[in-house]
Amino acid sequence: MVLLHVMMGLLQKFRVSHFIVTRNVADQQHLLSPYIGILLPHIEELLPAYASGSIQDEALWTLLLEVLAKSYEVDDGGEQLNESYKIATDNVAFWTDQHHLKMIPLLTAQLPLFPTAPTPVSTAFASLAGSTTSTPVLKALNTSLCLATRSDESVVRMAALKCIDGVWEKQPDEMIQFVPETVSEFLSELLEDENSDVENMARKVLARIEGLTGSLKEYLE
């Protein structure tokens, strides 16, 4: 728990200085990556324990997901820096496609948990999506969340839709390639969901997507 708090503090500090002090960005990312490397095995062990119900500490769960989300935000390989500093940071990003693909099912398994809590799962998914342009990663993420919308539990369907909405808000341009799958195969069903809250959330997601693409009526027929 202490290490998680320390890591969160480092990530917050790095995020604040990320656009202000560029001279030591590479050094800062080299400092952060080992911490993530130390934490990741613990996170990969704790998330399944939460999913199975063997751990139910909501505060620790929230912190785990917040650390993940923040690490995705700062670990961008220099993509958000100006061109003159990209060369210094392109090779120090920690999160690889392999890491992302391993984390997606672990995050998806958190959807049923703590439904009255704020949305750390959707924040983590959105931050993950925003940190990559990898088609395999984004496809796996989108498919995993879409399949979760077919859960028998309305709370899971709602949580999955909130995650999809956050992902589209964070990474809209890269997600457009998944419109046919997302809309015709899943949202079209959810627009007629027996739970009115789920139906309304599906309409919100559709409206967000159509704000980028225009009418998608052809996918709904």
Clarify whether residues 106 and 191 are in a common domain.
Answer: yes
Fill in the amino acid letter for 218. Answer: E
| Residue type at 66 in one-letter notation | E
- Could you tell me the two tokens for 71? 């690490």
107 and 216 in a common domain:
yes
Give the pLDDT score at 33.
59
**Cα separation, 40 vs 164, whole angstroms:** 24
CATH number of the domain within which 141 lies = 1.25.40.90
pTM of the model: 0.81
Half-sphere exposure for 159 (CA within 13 Å, toward CB): 27
Residue 1, classed as helix, strand or coil, is coil
**Residue 24 pLDDT:** 47
Per-residue pLDDT of 153-176, as tens digits, reads 999 999 999 999 999 999 999 999
Looking at residue 84, what is its pLDDT?
A: 40
Contact indicator for 129, 167 with CB cutoff of 8 Å: yes
Residues 209 and 221: their CA atoms lie apart, in Å, by 17
The per-residue pLDDT for range 187-207, each reduced to its tens digit, is 999 999 999 999 999 999 999
Cα 132–Cα 137–Cα 140 angle in degrees, nearest 5: 145
Cβ 135 vs Cβ 177: under 8 Å: yes
Q: Among residues 30, 63, 94, which one ends one of the domains?
A: 94
Total domains in the fold of the chain? 2
Same domain, 80 and 100: no
Distance CA 196, CA 52 (A): 29
- Domain residues for the domain of 174 are 96-221
